[in-house]
Amino acid sequence: MDDMNTENCIRLGGTHVIPITSPELAQEFLKKQDSTFASRPDGISGRLSSNGYLTAALRPEGDQWKKMRKVLTSDVISPAKHRWLQDKRMVEADNLVRYVYNQCKNSSKDVGLVNVRIAAQHYCGNVIRRLIFNKKSLIWTCIADYIPWFEIFDFDGYKRILKKAIV
């Protein structure tokens, strides 16, 4: 495009794509025209995975997205909330250190190998579960898992706990 000194606008389905080769023009798009080009395209994968754009991450830009972004920045990922949840993250960090220590100590060889991928997966999952549900593990049996028509009775309170956690 630089050789021919032209600009292109390619239509891919319902989306217009403008290839940019100039760094200055790319900077213009990203800094000054961000609100024009920041909206996410309306696609089936975003709509289905967010249950009709009910999440802030996949929602196309608009008034509702701006409201959701404001709530997220002021309430969910604020520094005050981060400090408030620090003790829960520290508990899981202590568990991670204990896990790595036990893996090294119980190793069959003197080398003490630890699978960092598994340790990181457990740490991330445990932190998320502790922050959302205030429990390290969510694995417990529910009678409705074995006898589905018992779900309407909610004998063990499992359904109520899950609804409360989701809302």
Which of these three, 79, 96, 111, is where a domain ends?
Answer: 79
Task: Report the distance separating Cα 38 and Cα 55, nearest Å.
Answer: 16
Q: What is the mean pLDDT of residues 80-96?
A: 90
Residue-range definition of the domain harbouring residue 122 = 85-136
Pair 41, 95 in one domain: no
108 shares a domain with 70: no
The reply to whether 32 falls in a domain is: yes
Total count of domains within the chain: 3
Backbone φ and ψ for 15, nearest 5 degrees, come out as: -115, 135
pLDDT in tens, 18-57: 788 788 888 887 777 766 666 666 666 666 667 777 776 7
Q: Are 59 and 102 part of one and the same domain?
A: no
| Domain assignment present for 144 | yes
Confidence of residue 106 (pLDDT cuts 50, 70, 90): confident
Query: Would 3 be classed as within a structural domain?
Result: no
70 and 44 in a single domain? The answer is yes
In a domain, 5, yes or no: no
Query: In percent, how much of the chain has pLDDT > 90?
Result: 5
Widest pairwise Cα distance in the chain: 73
Q: Is the pLDDT of residue 90 over 90?
A: yes
**Confidence at 130, pLDDT banded by 50, 70, 90:** confident
Same domain membership, residue 27 and residue 47: yes
pLDDT of residue 167: 62
